[in-house]
Amino acid sequence: MITTEEKTTLKEIIANYSIASDAKDVQAHMQYYAKNGYIDGGMKSKPKNAGMEEDLAQMFAMEGTLKRHFAMNHRFSKDQDAIV
């Protein structure tokens, strides 16, 4: 079961990730990825430990003023063990 403190920590991580993304701060944004983590989807990146910094800088440059922030109304599963 996820505690209130853990929920708060997760929400803070998501908020800080969003702030870094909106600011187009490559270094701050990258700190939220595991060393072999990467971006997948419409825009893809190399893993963090293999060139993500260059890819992310290029993505941010192409986005212009686009904001990437996430809604902060996350819900937790019935068993309190996952964000849904």
Please name the amino acid found at residue 70.
F
Question: Given this model, what pLDDT does residue 82 score?
Answer: 59
Strand-pairing partners, residue 76, are 83
Mean pLDDT (the chain, rounded) = 84
Closest CA to 27 of 5, 57, 51: 57
Q: Six-digit token pair at 3?
A: 């505690």
Q: Which of 11-15, 43-47, 74-78, 80-84 has the highest mean pLDDT?
A: 43-47
Which tens digit of pLDDT belongs to each residue from 9-37?
A: 888 888 888 888 889 999 999 999 998 99
Helices (H), the chain: 4-22, 26-30, 52-63
